[in-house]
């Protein structure tokens, strides 16, 4: 579904840090939303997290840079990183051009899928209200884009 | 016997009176920035009665008289300057020596002899009695014309450069034209006067030939058959009028005034900053005496324009050192000088010309202009002082205030929670002991905000701690207790806010019992080494080193051994490490110690290195301009044929990486610490 002009797939989970998560069995693939990419303008660098690293829901586990802005990406579930999109270290184009697809960041083997209850889906009224307030907050940047 | 003072001497005296009135006007502005006299005298003494006297002598000889900076830039301009710098003082000294030995001036006071000295030959030619001269008089004659010829040659070069070749990017002002013509015009007239005198008194060739220029000129004009004896006195009077106008104009003409300020600039460059702290509590002028003298020494010669990386992209003269100082000086004089004092025009913010404040921030502080400034102005310090002025008067851009608030509350430049300062280490497979939790160590590794919080350069501290652990260096980081060093605030003109940061950081390092502080960031390095002792008012009590200095020692001591790296690399000199801190060799020693590597220098390197564009807070002002400057640097690196640019600055690395990506350049950018960690044999 769309919130404003921005696509938010119904099958994904979201958080208020503009991350998205795709749950496939016990593996959660994480990325940043199209909306996030638009407000950060062009992302120029992504820190690829180390495979094997343990992460905690809500805690920063990687960073990215966009011009002089630095963004922190929080893990959407707790668990262990089993795969990282290492291509992004050499070429960040996928995260700018296909944030929901080729621009995925990391795959986490979740230790507790119950934590998904702490996340949102596109149809959640609270999430829609949040995105609409973010659209208003960043309207100058979004208009430039 | 001289019974009445001639007109030419009276004109000179009138000029001298105008000179002193002008001095008083100039000093009325300097007085408003008067320093604490005790600190000032201490600073003067520290220059004269210490080892600093030797670099001062070197600067006087090599830079003031022999103009070595100009020699590297433009040989014709160098010749012009050397001829003036040697010719003018020499002819003045020669004149004063001669007036002392001539019987016509016996009984004159020294003051009166001073005013007759430029015209001695009018009396010598009148009274010379014998058809041959003694060695002394012949030598005087020859030297007068030699030095005069040097000055005239310089004058012709100046006219050619300014009006024919148009070598100066700055337009000539009326003041410039007047100065050039007065300086040379007085000597043209003097030669004409001497030639006329030779003809008036029918001097034999055996006497006149020593004044070789005037003698030749007399031969040329003789056939005109003019009434030389009637013309002699009026011509000398005209010459006196020119000289009086020249001298009287000095304080009112920026180009002439700088002749007097340059010796002081040389001296004050070596004095400590504390010598210029304000002498009155509420200083009416937010600039120091040092700043005013430096401002007055700029003559818009254009040397800075040729090397300015910002100008190379923007083509805006107003943001170059010379362009900024011209506008800023004019504004300061009007607002704080006598007109300001008389008409109470101290409403700075309202009167600030449009764009002046913005232009003050359009600079990377790379200091290339300082390297080439023939007036020896410390352009970097003066640019920072200009920014401080903008802050003090409420005229700085809004982002400066936001930066100051952000850094002094969050203690870093990214606005992150400062307790997260070790975020760069979280991706390490194993975190070396020393990264966190250690309370005592011999070496404190000061990470710096950029490597701590900007992921493009996380590998720099990651590599540094790996190397130090491998080499068994007893190190620790300050973790969340590390606060921003304050460099971004200092260069933004908010240096006064750095006191708390400096005190905290120094206290934290002292608490560790460290003997040494090492940092991989040249800006942090410079701040710790140069600014912190001044800010806290005492020596730090520990050594400050850049990572390249430590690594070079570890490699030469055999504690770090390097594996093969058969690649072509080039090295980018970071401005804050090279020009600002004088460190050029340690990084090169490291690279050259790597087996298999070939180092190719860029066309402009070391003191001439082109800035990457990432410094001086320019990123906050105009990120597109930063990208353009960096793109030029990348091209310079590509021209070497190298596969890799190595640098020794995390901010340079970030900037160059972004540029390489944007330009789609097939070139990797590595910090030297990363390179060493990558190839060291473990």
Distance from CA of A66 to the nearest CA of B (A): 10
d(CA B285, CA B393): 10
For A47, the closest of B420, B455, B654 (CB atoms) is B455
Predicted TM-score (pTM) of this structure: 0.91
Of A44, A53, A70, the CB nearest to B427: A53
Burial class (CB in 10 A: 0-12, 13-18, 19+), B255: buried
- The 10s digit of each residue's pLDDT in A71-109 is 899 999 999 999 999 999 888 889 989 989 999 999 999
Res B345: pLDDT? 54
Yes or no, beta carbons of A70 and B416 under 8 Å apart: yes
User: Which residues 429-458 on chain B approach chain A with CB closer than 8 angstroms?
Assistant: 429, 453-456, 458
**B656 interface with A at CB cutoff 8 Å:** no
Q: Report yes or no: A119 at the B interface, CB cutoff 8 Å.
A: no
Contacts of B420 in chain A (CB under 8 A): 60
Give the pLDDT confidence score for residue B346 in this predicted structure.
55
Which among A10, A33, A38, A34 is positioned nearest to A23, based on CA atoms? A10
Tell whether the model's pLDDT for residue B135 goes beyond 80. yes
Confidence of residue B426 (pLDDT cuts 50, 70, 90): very high
Task: Give pLDDT, residue B344.
Answer: 59
In this predicted structure, what is the pLDDT of residue B285? 86
- pLDDT for B271 equals 85
* Residue for token pair 């400066």: B400
Digit-coded pLDDT (tens) for A28-79: 999 999 888 888 878 889 999 999 999 999 999 999 998 767 889 999 999 9
For residues B269 and B477, the model is more confident at B477
Residues of A (51-70) whose Cβ lies below 8 Å from B: 52-53, 60-65, 67-68, 70
Asked if A62 and B453 come within 8 Å (Cβ–Cβ), the reply is no
CB atoms within 10 A of CB B406: 18
Q: Where are the beta strands (DSSP E) in B477-564?
A: 516-519, 543-546
Contacts of B454 in chain A (CB under 8 A): 63, 65, 70
Which of these, B320, B296, B485, B496, lies nearest to B396 by C-alpha position?
B496
φ, ψ dihedrals at A27, nearest 5°: -100, 130
User: CB distance B423–A63 less than 8 Å?
Assistant: yes
pLDDT in tens, B199-209: 999 999 999 99
Minimum-distance CB partner of A50 among B423, B429, B623:
B429
| DSSP sequence for B382-399 | HHHHHHHHHHHTT-S-HH
Find the closest chain B residue to A50 by CA distance: B427
**Mean pLDDT of the residues in chain B:** 92
Q: Measured between beta carbons, which residues in chain A are less than 8 angstroms from residue B669? A: none
| Shortest Cα distance, chain B CAs vs residue A11, angstroms | 30
Residue B455: pLDDT band (50, 70, 90) is very high
> Would you state the structure tokens that stand for residue A91, as one six-digit string?
């070429």
- The band of B58, judged by pLDDT with boundaries at 50, 70 and 90, is confident
Q: What's the alpha-carbon Rg for chain B, to the nearest Å? A: 30
Of B46-50, B71-75, B147-151, B639-643, minimum mean pLDDT range: B46-50
**CA dist., res. B474 & res. B443, Å (int):** 6
CB-closest option in A46, A53, A70 to B454: A70
B330 to B224, B270, B296, B325, B353: CA distances (angstroms) = 48, 26, 10, 8, 10
The mean-pLDDT minimum among A57-61, B338-342, B369-373 falls in B338-342
pLDDT at B262: 83
Pairwise CB contact (< 8 Å): A65 & B620: no
Contact B414 A70 (CB under 8 A): yes
Beta bridge partners of B570: B645
**Predicted confidence band of residue B681 (pLDDT cuts 50, 70, 90):** confident
pLDDT value at residue B183: 85
% of chain B at pLDDT higher than 70: 98
| CA distance linking residue B290 with residue B87, whole number of Å | 28
Cβ contact (<8 Å) for A70 and B661? no
Picking from A45, A49, A61, the nearest residue to B456 by CB comes out as A45
Compute the distance between CA of residue B372 and CA of residue B629 in angstroms, rounded to an integer. 19
pLDDT confidence of residue B466:
96
Segment B601-625 shows an average pLDDT of 93
Give me the interface pTM, i.e. the ipTM.
0.91
Side by side, the strands of the sheet bearing A19-24 are A13-14, A19-24, A27-32, A106-110, A79-84, A54-55
3-class state of residue B659 by DSSP? helix
**Nearest CA distance, B427 vs chain A (angstrom):** 6
Q: Collapse the DSSP code of B277 into the 3-class scheme (helix H, G, I; strand E, B; otherwise coil) and give the result.
A: coil
- Report whether pLDDT(B321) > 80: yes
At residue B324, does pLDDT exceed 90? yes
Name the one residue in this structure whose structure tokens are 């000055």.
B151
Which of B426, B455, B658 is opposite residue A64, by nearest beta carbon?
B455
Cβ of B458 within 8 Å of Cβ of A47? The answer is yes
């Amino acid at each position: 579904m769309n919130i404003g002009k921005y696509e938010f797939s119904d099958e994904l989970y979201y958080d208020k840090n503009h991350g998205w998560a795709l749950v496939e069995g016990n593996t959660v693939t994480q990325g940043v939303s199209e909306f996030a990419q638009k407000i950060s303008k062009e992302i120029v660098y992504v820190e690829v997290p180390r495979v094997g690293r343990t992460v905690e829901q809500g805690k920063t586990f990687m960073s990215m840079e966009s011009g002089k802005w630095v963004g922190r990406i929080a893990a959407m579930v707790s668990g262990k990183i089993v795969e990282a999109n290492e291509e992004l270290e050499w070429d960040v184009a996928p995260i700018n051009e296909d944030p929901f697809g080729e621009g995925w960041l990391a795959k986490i083997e979740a230790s507790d899928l119950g934590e998904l209850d702490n996340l949102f889906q596109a149809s959640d009224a609270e999430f829609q209200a949040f995105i609409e307030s973010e659209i208003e907050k960043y309207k100058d940047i979004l208009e430039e884009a | 016997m001289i019974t009445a003072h001639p007109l030419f001497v009276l004109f000179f005296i009138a000029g001298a009176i105008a000179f002193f009135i002008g001095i008083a006007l100039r000093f009325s502005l300097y007085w408003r920035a008067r320093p604490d006299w005790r600190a000032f005298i201490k600073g003067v003494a520290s220059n004269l009665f210490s080892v600093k006297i030797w670099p001062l002598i070197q600067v006087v000889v090599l830079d003031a008289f022999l103009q070595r900076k100009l020699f590297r830039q433009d040989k014709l301009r160098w010749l012009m300057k050397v001829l003036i710098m040697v010719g003018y003082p020499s002819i003045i000294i020669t004149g004063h020596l001669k007036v002392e030995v001539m019987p016509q001036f016996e009984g004159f006071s020294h003051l009166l002899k001073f005013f007759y000295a430029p015209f001695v030959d009018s009396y010598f030619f009148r009274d010379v009695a014998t058809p041959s001269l003694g060695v002394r008089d012949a030598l005087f004659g020859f030297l007068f014309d030699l030095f005069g010829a040097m000055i005239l040659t310089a004058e012709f070069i100046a006219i050619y450069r300014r009006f024919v070749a148009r070598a100066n990017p700055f337009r000539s002002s009326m003041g410039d034209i007047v100065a050039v013509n007065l300086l040379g015009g007085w000597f043209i007239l003097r030669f004409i006067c001497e030639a006329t005198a030779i003809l008036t008194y029918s001097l034999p060739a055996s006497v006149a030939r020593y004044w070789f220029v005037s003698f030749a000129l007399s031969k040329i004009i003789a056939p005109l058959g003019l009434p030389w004896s009637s013309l002699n006195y009026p011509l000398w009077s005209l010459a006196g009028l020119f000289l009086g106008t020249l001298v009287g104009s000095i304080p009112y003409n920026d180009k002439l005034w700088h002749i007097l300020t340059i010796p002081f600039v040389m001296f004050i460059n070596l004095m400590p900053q504390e010598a210029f702290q304000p002498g009155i509590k509420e200083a009416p002028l937010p600039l120091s005496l040092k700043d005013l003298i430096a401002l007055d020494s700029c003559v818009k010669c254009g040397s800075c324009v040729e090397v300015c990386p910002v100008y190379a992209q923007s083509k805006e003269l107003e943001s170059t050192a010379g362009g900024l100082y011209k506008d800023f000086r004019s504004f300061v004089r009007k607002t704080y000088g006598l007109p300001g004092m008389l008409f109470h025009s101290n409403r700075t913010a309202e009167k600030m010309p449009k764009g002046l404040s913005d232009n003050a921030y359009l600079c990377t502080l790379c200091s290339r202009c300082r390297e080439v400034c023939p007036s020896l102005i410390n352009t970097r310090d003066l640019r920072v002082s200009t920014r401080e002025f903008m802050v003090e008067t409420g005229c700085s851009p809004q982002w400066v205030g936001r930066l100051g608030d952000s850094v002094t509350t969050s203690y870093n430049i990214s606005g992150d929670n400062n307790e997260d300062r070790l975020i760069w280490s979280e991706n390490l497979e194993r975190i070396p002991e020393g990264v966190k939790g250690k309370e005592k160590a011999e070496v404190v590794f000061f990470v710096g905000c950029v490597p701590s919080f900007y992921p493009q350069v996380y590998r720099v501290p990651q590599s540094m701690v790996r190397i130090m652990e491998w080499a068994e260096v007893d190190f620790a980081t300050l973790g969340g207790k590390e606060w921003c060093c304050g460099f971004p605030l200092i260069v933004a003109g908010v240096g006064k806010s750095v006191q708390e940061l400096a005190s905290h950081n120094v206290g934290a390092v002292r608490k560790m019992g460290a003997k040494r502080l090492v940092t991989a960031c040249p800006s942090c390095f410079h701040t710790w080494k140069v600014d912190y002792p001044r800010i806290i008012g005492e020596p730090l009590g520990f050594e400050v080193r850049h990572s390249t200095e430590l690594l070079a020692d570890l490699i030469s001591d055999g504690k770090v051994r390097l594996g093969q790296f058969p690649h072509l690399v080039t090295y980018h000199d970071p401005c804050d490490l090279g020009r600002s801190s004088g460190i050029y060799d340690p990084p090169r020693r490291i690279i050259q110690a790597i087996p298999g590597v070939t180092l190719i220098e860029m066309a402009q390197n070391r003191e001439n290195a082109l800035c990457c564009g990432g410094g001086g807070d320019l990123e906050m002002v105009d990120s597109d301009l930063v990208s353009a400057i960096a793109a030029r640097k990348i091209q310079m690196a590509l021209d070497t044929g190298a596969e890799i640019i190595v640098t020794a600055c995390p901010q340079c690395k970030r900037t160059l990486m972004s540029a390489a990506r944007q330009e789609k350049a097939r070139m990797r950018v590595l910090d030297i610490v990363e390179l060493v960690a990558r190839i060291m044999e473990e």
